[in-house]
Amino acid sequence: MSTGAREEILGRIRSATADLPTQSPEVPRTYLRHAPDVDPADRETVLALFAERLEEYGATVYRAGPAGLVSTLAEVLPAGRVMVPTGFPIAWLTQWAGEALTEETTPLSRRQLDGLDAVLTTCAVAIAESGTVVLDTGPGQGRRAATLLPDLHVCVVRAGQVFSSMPEVIGSLDPLRPLTWISGPSATADIEMIRVPGVHGPRRLTVVLLLEEDQSRDAVG
């Protein structure tokens, strides 16, 4: 049955497109490779744009240098039970008083995850123009359910991971990994097209921007 459908649909497609030339015209790619009016080498501008756009969407943004990160995390994390995925630099948590849970041995159930106070992660890359952080489940990012059910998501983004626009990052991401592109906390505009923050996904998003001395691009991942 299914094979029949497949062949029939493919046949319909071929006859429907029979009039078209086999050689397609080239796809124009004249759109910007970087955020408008931004020099991607101007790191200060890129980072400022990233913070501005995140805040516009209702995320909270902190900036910290390598020396201040530990205290910043202690400040922004609730002193409760927080999911800290495998691979997250535990050394950053020395001043924080809460309880870190990992999934190193056994995954937490949905209800356990739902009962946590927060999830703390790193990210794969970030996009300044749209205020987006991308998680690829790599080290320090955990599986997708872990970053979804807790109501607060705290994400540490290293400055070198922030690029000005989407065309700069898309090639560095691995489509075979499940990716979550997060642009601000969960929201809806389904009631009278008015944006209301906070529905199902984490209702609060806190981004800690880690300013590094070395802001080279190979810091991605």
Partner 1 sequence: MSRTFVGWPAFPRAAAAATQDMQLRSNVTRATGTIRGKRAKLVTERPDWEDLRDSAAALKDEVLAHLDRYLLQAEEQVTAAGGTVHWARDAAEANRIVTELVRATGEREIVKVKSMLTEEIGLDNALEAAGISARETDLAAAIVQLGDDLPSHVVVPALHRNRGEIRDVFVREMGRHGRPAPQGLTDEPAQLAEAARLHLREKFLKAKVAVSGANFLVAETGTVVVVESEGNGRMCLTLADTLISVVGLEKAVPTWRDLEVFLQLLARNATGERMAPYTTTFTGVTPGDGPQRFHLVLVDNGRTRALADRVGRQALRCIRCGACMNICPVYERTGGHAYGSVYPGPIGAILNPLLKGPDDPQTASLPYASSLCGACNEVCPVRIRFTDVLLKLRHEVAEGDAKVKHPVEKAALDAVGAVMEHPAAWNAAVRAAGRVGPLMPRKRLPGPLRGWTDTRNVPEIPKESFRTWWKRTDGGTK
Cβ atoms of 206 and 153 closer than 8 Å: yes
Nearest one of 62, 54, 41, 67 to 212, comparing CA atoms: 67
Nearer to partner 1, 67 or 193 (CB): 193
Strand order in the sheet with 162-163: 132-135, 125-127, 162-163
Nearest one of 73, 146, 68 to 113, comparing CA atoms: 146
User: Smallest distance, Å, CB 172 to partner 1?
Assistant: 11
User: Smallest distance, Å, CB 27 to partner 1?
Assistant: 4
User: Smallest distance, Å, CB 51 to partner 1?
Assistant: 14
CA distances from 204 to 41, 180, 210 (A): 31, 16, 19
Cα-atom radius of gyration of the chain, to the nearest Å? 21
User: Smallest distance, Å, CB 212 to partner 1?
Assistant: 25
Alpha-carbon gap, residue 146 to 99, rounded angstroms:
15
Size of the site for partner 1 (CB under 8 A): 73
Contact code string over 161-200 relative to partner 1, x by CB under 8 A:
----xxx--xx---xxxxxxxxxxxxxxxxxxxx-xxxxx
Q: Which of 143, 172, 219, 220 binds partner 1 (CB under 8 A)?
A: 143
Q: Which of 82, 108, 148, 207 binds partner 1 (CB under 8 A)?
A: 148
Which pair of structure tokens corresponds to residue 185?
């906390």
Considering only residues 74-103, where is the footprint of partner 1 by CB under 8 A? Answer: none
Name the segment binding partner 1 (CB under 8 A); options: 70-78, 86-94, 106-114, 207-215.
106-114
User: Smallest distance, Å, CB 182 to partner 1?
Assistant: 6
Nearer to partner 1, 90 or 170 (CB): 170
Residues paired with residue 203 on neighbouring β-strands, in sequence order: none
Q: Taking CB under 8 A as the rule, does residue 14 contact partner 1?
A: yes
Q: Taking CB under 8 A as the rule, does residue 70 contact partner 1?
A: no
Q: Which of 38, 145, 211, 220 binds partner 1 (CB under 8 A)?
A: 145
Which pair of structure tokens corresponds to residue 87?
């691979």
C-alpha 168, offset from chain centre: 15
Q: Taking CB under 8 A as the rule, does residue 140 contact partner 1?
A: no
Q: Taking CB under 8 A as the rule, does residue 17 contact partner 1?
A: yes
Nearest one of 85, 82, 79 to 118, comparing CA atoms: 82
